[in-house]
Amino acid sequence: MSSKRQLDGAKRIVVKVGTSTLIHPNGRINLQAIDQLSFSLSGLVNEGKQVVLVSSGAIGVGMGQMGLDARPEKIPEQQALASMGQCELMTIYQQRFTTYGQKISQVLLTHDVLDYPESRQNVFNTLDTLLEWGIIPIINENDTIAVDELDHHTKFGDNDQLSAVVADIVDADLLIMLSDIDGFFNKNPRHFKDARLIDEINKIDSKVIEQAGGKGTKFGTGGMTTKLKAAKRILKHDRMMILANGENPSIIFRIMNGDKIGTLFRKK
Ligand SMILES: Nc1ncnc2c1ncn2[C@@H]1O[C@H](COP(=O)(O)OP(=O)(O)O)[C@@H](O)[C@H]1O
Ligand SMILES: N[C@@H](CCC(=O)OP(=O)(O)O)C(=O)O
């Protein structure tokens, strides 16, 4: 067995970063993580890759701004926090990416863009143009609009699934999902000391689904269940996904080098 993964020269890459990577447990912004992420993604663009960043964190950053240590129950309050936090988050990204000479843009999406071929095409046209220009689009769900109503489905559910949808829209080769855990384990490692990291998964069957548990921190949403839903979509369309620990986002360079880090989801 080869000690390196063959990522088949992946050129168009979507990177998803979860709230738990961007926010310290004390609620403050993890500047080091954002800096490393900006450095690594700018480095990939300089190597000739096309990179989209799907970034969570708006609500988490908004909570920090308002001094809250628990997510409010009321949806309008969550949306207000997202609106504040998104602005702050983009300001920090703008600063850090500028340091590395990298231009960025912001794209906020709702699920219903997928229901309308014209909207979907417009999203593709925008993203494709940005990527051709060497810009890194930073995508989040448009939390102000995104709520689930009976007849108007605007919510993706979570950014794990949003990132897989984005990978489809831009026809990405690879989705790198950075979380607060080293990859997919055969059981939740926060509850079981003997949990084992799985190197590669080729199919999301009921056995794999049963191994997935809930979220890890107060900032996370969905836990492994939503990451597996995203992986299912990725496999269905013959793309690759790597789930890895975003604690130190420069891990992206080693991932792209084919080092066996985290869990690779790929069809056999
Ligand atoms: N089988 C599993 N393997 C790895 N992590 C798991 C598993 N089942 C549940 N988890 C939990 O999923 C968490 C990651 O998801 P989440 O908290 O939503 O983070 P993020 O903010 O990165 O989306 C881990 O911290 C872990 O507690
Ligand atoms: N749109 C929300 C993110 C929702 C979400 O999926 O968060 P996470 O599980 O941390 O990736 C925000 O920016 O706070």
pLDDT for res 38: 98
pLDDT for res 158: 82
155: pLDDT confidence band, cut at 50, 70 and 90?
Answer: low
List, for residues 15-39, the tens digit of each pLDDT value. Answer: 999 998 999 989 999 999 999 999 9
Which of 30-34, 195-199, 210-214, 253-257 shows the lowest per-residue confidence on average (mean pLDDT)? 210-214
- Look up residue 77 and give its two tokens: 């309050």
Residues with Cβ within 8 Å of residue 95, at least 6 apart in sequence = none
131/52 Cα distance (integer angstroms): 8
CB 231 within 8 A of CB 204: yes
For residue 36, the Cα-to-chain-centroid distance in whole angstroms is 15
Mean pLDDT of 115-127: 94
What CATH number does domain 12-265 carry, 3.40.605.10, 1.10.620.20, 3.40.50.150, 3.40.1160.10?
3.40.1160.10
Task: Tell the residue number behind the tokens 């420069």, with chain if given.
Answer: 250
Mean pLDDT of the chain: 91
pLDDT for res 232: 96
Containing 113, the helix (H) or strand (E) segment is none
Higher pLDDT, 157 or 63: 63
Residues with Cβ within 8 Å of residue 23, at least 6 apart in sequence = 29, 30, 57, 60, 61, 64, 219
Per-residue pLDDT at 140 exceeds 70: yes
pLDDT for res 223: 78
List, for residues 169-182, the tens digit of each pLDDT value. Answer: 999 999 999 998 99
> Ligand 2 within 6 A of 180 CB?
no
Please report the ipTM that was assigned to this predicted complex.
0.95
> Ligand 1 within 6 A of 57 CB?
no
> Ligand 1 within 6 A of 189 CB?
yes
Q: Which ligand is nearest to the CA of 247?
A: 1
Would you state the torsion angle of the CA atoms of residues 244, 209, 219, 200, taken in this order, to the nearest 10 degrees? 0
List, for residues 230-263, the tens digit of each pLDDT value. Answer: 999 999 999 999 999 999 999 999 999 999 999 9
Instruction: Tell me the residue ranges of DSSP E strands in 92-183.
Output: 104-109, 136-141, 174-179
Please report how many Cα atoms fall inside a 13 Å half-sphere around the Cα of residue 206, on the Cβ side: 0
H helices present in 75-116, as ranges: 75-99
Per-residue pLDDT at 150 exceeds 60: no
> Ligand 1 within 6 A of 216 CB?
yes
Percentage with pLDDT > 90 across the chain: 75
pLDDT for res 144: 87
Mutation probe of ligand 1 site: the residue of 37, 56, 188, 221 with most atoms within 8 A of C-beta: 188
List, for residues 61-83, the tens digit of each pLDDT value. Answer: 999 999 998 989 898 999 999 99
pLDDT for res 216: 59
pLDDT for res 148: 60
CA of 264 to the centre of ligand 2 (A): 22
Residue ID of nearest Cα to ligand 1 atom 9: 213
10/266 Cα distance (integer angstroms): 13
pLDDT for res 177: 97
CA of 60 to the centre of ligand 2 (A): 8
> Ligand 2 within 6 A of 179 CB?
no
pLDDT for res 255: 96
